[in-house]
Each structure stands twice: as C-alpha cells, then as structure tokens.
C-alpha cells in the first residue's frame, strides 16, 4: 500500500474514532422521558399552535388550537376547545380514549413544559404525562432540586446525579404508563417554568454523562443534608446496599439550616405511639435512629414528621417531648448541602461524586 493510500486509511480511521467519541455522549440526549405531571379529573392545557390527537375507535386530529379544557365525568371525557381565532367547540368522547397534544409553550394549569403530552384515564382519574427528551427534562429538574445560584460545580453534580437517576427509572419503567412523577417521590420537576441559564449550563456542560459502577449504571440517591454521615439504603428501605452506598463521613454540610434542629411534640401525641415513658434508643452505624422502643426509626420520623432519623437527644417532659437532631432527608447518597460547600472550596463535580459514592466513575452514557 503506497503512502497516499495509507494516509487515507489513517484519516478514515481517525474520522470514525472522533465521530464515535463525539456521538457517544449524546446517546442519552434524545431518549424520551415520561413524567407524570398531573393526576385528577379536571385541568386546562394552553399553548401556541396546539394539535390535539384523539385516539379511540378512530383517530381524530384537531389543529391550530390555543386552549383545551379537559374534564372527566362518569362515562366520558368532555373537551372544551378554543382555536387560534377564539372559536369554541365542545367534544364528548369515550372515557377510554387517549389524548395526545403537541405544540409550543404548552402549559398545564399554568406551568409551562417542553415536549408534548399523553393523557390517559386510569382508575377514573386522568393522568397527564409529559413526554420530553432527557436533557430537556433535566433543564427543569436541576433548578427544582438545587438552588440555581449555587456554585456551578454543585449544579453539575446535581445534573449528573439526576441524569443517572432518570436513566435507571426509564429502565425500570418499561411496561408502565410513565417513568417518573414530578414530585419528591421521584425527583422534583417544574418544567420550563423553573429553568435558569446557570442550571441549563450545568446540564449542557455535562451532556450525556452518567455515573457507573463496574460498567453498570449506578443506583444513585441524593438528599438535602446528611448531618455528618450519609446513610445506607438498607437502613432506610431495607434493600441491599452496593459498596458505594454504605455511607461516608461528611464535614461539609454544617452551613445547612438543617445542620441541627429541634422539634417539640405534645406529650399526648407522643404517648399515643410511645407507650413506655422510658426511652430505649437503638443507633445504627451512621449514627441514625434504628429503633425507638422497638419502633423502626423511619416510622418514628414519619409519625412525628421529623426532618431526619439522625436523633441526638430526646427529653420527655410533663407536657411535651423535645427531640433534637441533625440533617434533613433520608441521608442516602449525595448530600446536597455538602456538595455546595465542596464546590465552594474547590472540588470539581467529579471529585464530589467520587467522595460521596466511592468507587464509581463518571462516563458518557453507553446504553443499559
């Protein structure tokens, strides 16, 4: 092979390699995410140049709309439709019909979202599901989960965590109506209405990056404030804990308003659940409450609406019980207030992730 031919082959190989490296991080970009943003019987959709598709016994398409009011009654779905010229029409369709809406600046009850919507009736309740590309979904998640004015490295950390969490939920959502909810049950998502340039920059600058452990997408979690030590998921949800989630010490979240807290509980409410005035505490390896008088710590937190199970003191008085503790949230995975401080003192988002999740790597998404 002459030199010219060899150079041509080398150039072709390099071109393919660089093309692969360029495309690889973007594999996650176009993955659709299905997010439940509303559940109920009555709501309003607004936007520009809306198209409504009604999929029932036959498919109907209504174009150039600006508003659709949807109401579910006992036997049907009632639609009040307004087009761009303010003409109105009322449609009554079968309750089993599936609605799909596309357009621009679509809002549900005043909250603007990217992407389109699928609307289905389940158990006599309408589910409004936002279908949006993954990276655009993250634009609305990161500022909903972390203040937009925090350090950019902290925002990047949140972006990678949220992307990783979302991909795992998509994987487990096969066969279901949606992948995630828009609340703390999944991760908070307030759509396009919540977006800021700083958080969008954090998503874009980590485009396609995911957390892996031994070449498998990691199960990641995050919370507000750990209080000094992160928690193992086996102590919260009674599930197996991978090595990177066993918990680590954290001295970075002391600036959190939840670094220390105190709750006063009426004695009669306390006595309703804690029958014995003697207090027996069982503390686990992270310093959190495992059991109180035989009741699981997570249940105690739920009953008395405590910020966390990181209890450092209980004082039983005649008329009230004073509970003192540290941290806010379940404590598993990455501490967000710790992330803030670590970013401020010079740690990168990769450093932060590695600190809270030892043994993981951050790499371009390469499929499930």
- Domain for residue 218, yes or no? no
Predicted pLDDT of residue 9: 41
Give the relative orientation of helices 134-145 and 197-205 as an angle to the nearest 10 degrees.
130
Backbone φ/ψ region at 92: left (φ over 0), alpha (ψ -120 to 50), beta: beta
Predicted pLDDT of residue 2: 56
The model carries a pTM of 0.89
Q: How many CB atoms lie within 10 A of CB 355?
A: 17
Which of 115, 133, 151 represents a domain boundary (last residue)?
Answer: 133
* pLDDT, one tens digit for every residue, the chain (368 residues): 554 444 444 444 333 333 333 334 444 468 999 999 999 999 999 999 999 999 988 899 999 999 999 999 988 999 999 999 999 999 999 999 999 999 999 999 999 999 999 999 999 999 999 999 999 999 999 999 999 999 999 999 999 999 999 999 999 988 999 999 999 999 999 999 999 999 999 999 999 999 999 999 999 999 999 999 999 999 999 999 999 999 999 999 999 999 999 999 999 999 999 987 789 999 999 999 999 999 999 999 999 999 999 999 999 999 999 999 999 999 999 999 999 999 999 999 999 999 999 999 999 998 86
Q: Which domain holds residue 289?
A: 261-325
- Domain for residue 206, yes or no? no
Q: From edge to edge, which strands make up the β-sheet containing 281-283?
A: 281-283, 289-292, 295-296
CA dist 313 and 69 (Å) reads 53
Which of 133, 160, 194 represents a domain boundary (last residue)?
Answer: 133
The SS3 of residue 103 is strand
- Domain for residue 225, yes or no? no
Number of domains in the chain: 2
Q: How many CB atoms lie within 10 A of CB 132?
A: 23
- For residue 28, the 8-state DSSP code is G
Q: Residue 26 corresponds to which tokens in the numbers above?
A: 């973007």
Angle, CA of 345, 347 and 348, to the nearest 5°: 140
- Domain for residue 279, yes or no? yes
Closest CA to 227 of 326, 360, 299: 326
Predicted pLDDT of residue 151: 98
- Domain for residue 298, yes or no? yes
Residue 24 makes CB contacts below 8 A (sequence gap 6+) with 208, 364, 365, 366
- Domain for residue 17, yes or no? no
**CATH code, domain with 109:** 2.60.200
Contact present, 318 and 127 (Cβ < 8 Å): no
Predicted pLDDT of residue 276: 78
CA contacts within 13 A on the Cβ side of 338: 28
Predicted pLDDT of residue 29: 61
C-beta contacts of 78-86 below 8 A and 24+ residues apart: 79/52, 81/52, 84/49
Backbone φ/ψ region at 359: left (φ over 0), alpha (ψ -120 to 50), beta: left
Compute CA 344 distance to the chain's CA centroid, rounded to the nearest angstrom: 24
- Domain for residue 249, yes or no? no
Residue 249 makes CB contacts below 8 A (sequence gap 6+) with 228, 229
Q: Which helix (H) or strand (E) holds 263?
A: strand 261-266
- Domain for residue 356, yes or no? no
C-alpha distances in Å from residue 10, one per residue of 7, 123, 359:
5, 61, 36
Give the relative orientation of helices 152-172 and 349-356 as an angle to the nearest 10 degrees.
60
Give the CA dihedral 197, 198, 204, 208, nearest 10 degrees.
-130
Which of 82, 109, 133 represents a domain boundary (last residue)?
Answer: 133
């Amino acid at each position: 092979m002459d030199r010219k031919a060899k150079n041509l082959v080398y150039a072709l190989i390099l071109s393919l390699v660089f093309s692969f490296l360029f495309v690889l991080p973007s594999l996650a970009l176009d993955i659709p995410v299905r997010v439940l943003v509303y559940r109920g019987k009555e709501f309003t959709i607004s936007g520009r140049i809306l198209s409504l598709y009604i999929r029932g016994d036959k498919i109907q398409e209504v174009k150039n709309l600006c508003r659709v009011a949807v109401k579910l009654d006992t036997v049907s779905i009632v639609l009040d439709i307004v087009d761009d010229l303010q003409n109105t029409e009322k449609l009554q369709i079968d309750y089993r019909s599936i609605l799909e809406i596309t357009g621009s600046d679509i809002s549900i009850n005043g909250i603007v979202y990217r992407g389109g919507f699928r609307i289905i009736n389940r158990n006599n309740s309408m589910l409004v599901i936002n279908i949006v590309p993954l990276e655009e979904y993250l634009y609305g998640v990161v500022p909903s989960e972390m203040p937009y004015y925090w350090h950019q490295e902290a925002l990047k950390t949140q972006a990678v965590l949220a992307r990783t969490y979302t991909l795992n939920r998509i994987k487990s959502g096969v066969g279901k109506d949606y992948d995630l909810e828009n609340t703390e049950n999944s991760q908070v998502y307030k759509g396009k209405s919540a977006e800021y340039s700083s958080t969008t920059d954090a998503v874009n600058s980590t485009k396609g990056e995911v957390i892996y452990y031994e070449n498998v997408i990691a199960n990641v979690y995050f919370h507000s404030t750990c209080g000094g030590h992160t928690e193992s998921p086996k102590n919260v949800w009674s599930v197996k804990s991978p090595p990177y989630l066993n918990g680590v010490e954290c001295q970075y979240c002391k600036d959190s308003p939840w670094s220390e807290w105190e709750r006063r509980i009426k004695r009669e409410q306390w006595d309703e659940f804690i029958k014995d005035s003697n207090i027996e505490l069982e503390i686990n390896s992270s310093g959190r409450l495992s059991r109180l008088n035989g009741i699981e710590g997570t249940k105690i937190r739920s009953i008395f609406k405590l910020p966390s199970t990181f209890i450092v003191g209980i004082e039983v008085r005649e008329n009230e019980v004073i509970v003192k503790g540290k941290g806010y949230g379940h404590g598993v995975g990455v501490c967000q207030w710790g992330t803030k401080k670590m970013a401020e003192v010079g740690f990168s988002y990769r450093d932060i992730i590695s600190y809270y999740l030892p043994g993981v790597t951050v790499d371009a998404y390469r499929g499930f």
